[in-house]
Amino acid sequence: MRYQLYYWGEIQGRGEFIRLALEDAGADYKDVVRSAGSDVMDAYFKKRNGPFACPFLKAGRLLIGQTANILHYLGPRLGLAPKDEARRLWLHQLQLTIADWLVEVHDTHHPIGSGFYYEQQKKEARRRSKDFLKNRLPMYLDYFERVDLGKFSYVNLSLFQMIEGLEYAFPRAMKRHRRRKLLENRYRVRIRLEKYLTSERRIAFNQLGIFRRYPELDA
């Protein structure tokens, strides 16, 4: 199967959670916008039953949107999830929790709305980040440190991405929030995916993405 991934070409964003799974499995895929521009992606948004937002994946005749949904589909096909229904649902549940967590990270720099520039919501961003770092971040970290992830799966890859992103965005706060299992997972994935992570295919974190480094928002 040749997969076609549709996601913005300049950022890791939510597309990266899919890229990591495809790369880890050595899957045959095309990162469409990066090679053909974003017009092709826009055309899908105009379709009657197209996706609401990116990332979305084209797999044969299937057109699949929502990050967690895409991973739910890809997991067993890429050897990154078991076929057993109970385990798959558990992984899907964890991935949806990661999606919630990611929205909270985004909202640290855009707490009022995506229609405003960061500079227009700096004060609120500071309040929101403070609350996120003090209350929400440790809750999520403790949760994922505690739960049973089972055999290596796409959830391990997504957790790696969360920790990498948080270290990029909040290096000071993350020093206070070291979690042994999550760090071990991070090193494990770094070794597994070294070739991809050091290649040009891995877009660097930047100030357009979900994880952004504004020192004034860090601890």
62 forms beta bridges with 59
Among 18, 20, 57, 66, binds ligand GSH (CB under 6 A): 66
Among 3, 12, 13, 18, binds ligand GSH (CB under 6 A): 13
Cβ atoms 70, 158 nearer than 8 A: no
In angstroms, give the least distance from the CB of 212 to ligand GSH: 13
Tokens of 99: 């999606």
Q: Is 53 in the site for ligand GSH (CB under 6 A)?
A: yes
Q: Is 99 in the site for ligand GSH (CB under 6 A)?
A: yes
Q: Is 54 in the site for ligand GSH (CB under 6 A)?
A: yes
**Which positions ≥6 away from 171 have C-beta within 8 Å?**
213, 218
CA dihedral 122, 171, 114, 3 (to 10 degrees): 170
In angstroms, give the least distance from the CB of 96 to ligand GSH: 9
Q: Is 109 in the site for ligand GSH (CB under 6 A)?
A: no
3-6 and 29-31 beta bridge pairing = parallel
d(CA 137, CA 98): 12
Total residues at interface with ligand GSH (CB under 6 A): 8
Q: Is 98 in the site for ligand GSH (CB under 6 A)?
A: no
In angstroms, give the least distance from the CB of 99 to ligand GSH: 5
> What is the C-alpha end-to-end distance of the chain, expressed in Å?
45
Q: Is 165 in the site for ligand GSH (CB under 6 A)?
A: no
d(CA 62, CA 134): 42
In angstroms, give the least distance from the CB of 95 to ligand GSH: 9
Binding site for ligand GSH (CB under 6 A): 13-14, 53-55, 66-67, 99
